[in-house]
Amino acid sequence: MEYSEFITHVQSLSQSESREEAEVATRATLEVLTQIIPSEEIADLSAQIPQELREYLRRNETETIQSFHLQEFIERISQKESLEPTTSIIHVRAVFAVLQNAVASDKFRKFYNYFSHDYEELFTMSVTDRISV
C-alpha cells in the first residue's frame, strides 16, 4: 500500500475533515505504538507499511516497553494530536483498520496479540482471531 492510499483510507474511515488531520492521527498512533510493542514486532510492522510512515515507528532502543490500559493509550494519542479523546478513538480505529489491510494477516495477528482485551473496541478483528505467541 502506498502512503497516499494509506492516508486517504485513514481520512475516509475516520471521516477527518482534512488530509493533514489523518496524517497527524496516523503519526500519533504509530508513535505511541512504539511504547507498547517490542522492537522485533515493530520491525515486522514497519517493513510492511509505506516508507514515509516508518520513521514514526522508530524508537530509542534504551526505552523500555510499557504496559498501560486503554484510557492511557488514548490519552497519549490525544495529547499528540491535540484533540479530544473521543476523536482520537475514532482516529485510532481508522489507523488500525488500515494497518490490518496493509499488513500480512499473520503479522497483524501477532501485533494484535500485544493488546489486552480492553483494547478490542479499537480493532475490527474479533477475540477469536487471537493466536498464541
* Contacting residues for 27 by C-beta, under 8 A, at least 6 apart: 53, 56, 80
CA gap 133, 118 in Å, rounded: 19
Measuring CA to CA, which residue among 119, 118, 115, 102 is closest to residue 44? Answer: 102
**How do residues 69-109 score in pLDDT, each as one tens digit?**
899 999 999 999 999 999 999 999 999 999 999 999 888 88
The domain spans of the chain are: 3-129
Does the 3-129 domain belong in CATH 3.30.70.1170?
no
Q: Does position 128 have pLDDT exceeding 50, yes or no?
A: no
Q: Give which of 44, 52, 60 is closest to 22, Cα–Cα.
A: 52
pTM reported for the whole predicted model: 0.88
pLDDT band at 133 (very low <50, low <70, confident <90, very high): very low
- Predicted confidence at residue 60, as pLDDT, reads 61
On the question of pLDDT at 63 being above 80, the answer is no
**Is 59's pLDDT higher than 60?**
yes
